[in-house]
Homo-oligomer: A and B are copies of this chain.
Amino acid sequence: MRTNSHSNLKILAFDVFGTVVDWHSGIAREVRALRPTVDGEMFALAWRDGYQPAMRRVMSGELGWTLIDDLHRLILEQILGQFGIADLSESEKHHLNKAWHRLDPWPDVVSGLTRLKSRFTICTLSNGNIGLLADMAKHGGLPWDCILSAEVFRAYKPDPATYLGVAKVFDVTPAEVMLVAAHQDDLAAARACGLQTAYVERSAEFGAAHPKDISPHKDNNWHAQDFLSLADQLGC
């Protein structure tokens, strides 16, 4: 762990999917509500698995700039057949695609963010589109000071334009911004841009049956079990 100091910290930027909200059980629940015979957990994993390849198609230029809502829909169309539910109606597909707007936060999130907000400006930094993140905040009562998104910067994480964009929006130095995320690769990219970083354990991100590696990484400034622990460590 690097030497920690939060005396110069002003902005906390949060990764969202996995870090703030539990996409795995939310998606599983919603697909089972539509078609009870589907293995909801496998469906959630398959949908999320399509995310990185789809985003790479945008970043390579094969697809033009595309909102996550539209990428989610592309992937959905690809996996429906695999799960034997290609017969979903257009309105069912539209409803299911919006399940990403209705994901629930992890249990510590609202009280943790409320404490962190008392001392810092708290914002999202997600590849999710603005409307999705705003709907999710309203659904879950997430008290963001500001919603920042790939849509604002016209670039997806891990493009440096996103991490540096947060500092630019708030007219602060990169070192005055900290990325909070449950993913080491996201944090590494932020660190390369000069941001501080905090890792948050979300061992059940891929379901309780598939606990993920939550080992500390020495280059993060902070390592927290959850947002309450992060608030403790930051003196909030």
Closest to A123 in B: B134
Q: How many copies of this chain are found per oligomer?
A: 2
Residues 130-152 of A, flagged 1 when their CB comes within 8 A of B and 0 if not, give 11011101100000011110011
Residues of chain B lying within 8 A (CB to CB) of residue A171: 69, 131
Q: Which chain A residues (113-130) contact chain B, with CB distance < 8 Å?
A: 121, 123, 129-130
Q: Which residues of B contact A130 (CB under 8 A)?
A: 146, 148, 152, 169
**Residue tally, chain A, CB below 8 Å to B:** 20
Interface flag for A170 (CB, 8 Å): yes
Residues of B within 8 A of A133 (CB): 146
Q: Is the CB of A134 within 8 A of B170?
A: yes
Complex contact B146–A121 (CB within 8 A):
no
Q: What's the minimum C-beta distance from A144 to chain B, rounded to whole angstroms? A: 9
A101, chain B: closest CB distance, angstroms: 9
Complex formed: what's the CA distance from A138 to B131 in Å? 21
Q: Known: A69-B171, A171-B69. Contact between A134 and B138, CB under 8 A? A: no
Q: Which residues of B contact A138 (CB under 8 A)?
A: 121, 145
Closest chain B CB from A161 CB (angstroms): 14
Q: Which residues of A contact B (CB under 8 A)?
A: 69, 121, 123, 129-131, 133-135, 137-138, 145-148, 151-152, 169-171
User: 12 A-B residue contacts at CB 8 Å?
Assistant: A121-B134, A130-B146, A131-B169, A131-B170, A134-B145, A134-B169, A134-B170, A137-B146, A138-B145, A146-B147, A147-B147, A152-B152
